Amino acid sequence: MTDEPKKHRFLTISQTAEELNVNQNQIRALLSSGELRGIQVGGRGLWRIGANDIEDFIAETYRRTAERIAAGELKGDGESGPE
């Protein structure tokens, strides 16, 4: 048996923002737009985002980015490549 830390099935907005290295407002915007799946739980409607939903979001974002690169839609910020 290993002493690995337990992975949570659901994360808070704060934990999700940390995982994706963005701010919490960006996570709220992604939830509101439906780009990132989440659920509201409890009487106060707290958001929880499934760990699998984060992975699905990342995979879909990679796919869309690759399509935009292939279509020539993405340009750097005046630099020769991505940061």
Say if 82 falls within a structural domain: no
Say if 64 falls within a structural domain: yes
Say if 79 falls within a structural domain: no
For residue 19, the surrounding DSSP H or E stretch is: helix 13-20
How is the chain split among helix, strand and coil, in percent rounded to 5?
A: 45, 10, 40
- Rounded to the nearest 10°, the torsion over CA 61, 66, 70, 74 is 60
pLDDT at 79: 47
If pLDDT is split at 50, 70 and 90, which confidence band does 76 have? low
Indicate the number of domains in the chain. 1
Say if 77 falls within a structural domain: no
Say if 5 falls within a structural domain: no
Q: What is the CATH number of the domain that holds 64?
A: 1.10.1660
What is the DSSP code (8-state) at residue 9?
S
Q: What range defines the domain where residue 29 resides?
A: 10-70
Say if 17 falls within a structural domain: yes
Q: What is the mean pLDDT of residues 61-73?
A: 93
Sign of the dihedral defined by the CA atoms of residues 62, 19, 13, 52, in that order: positive
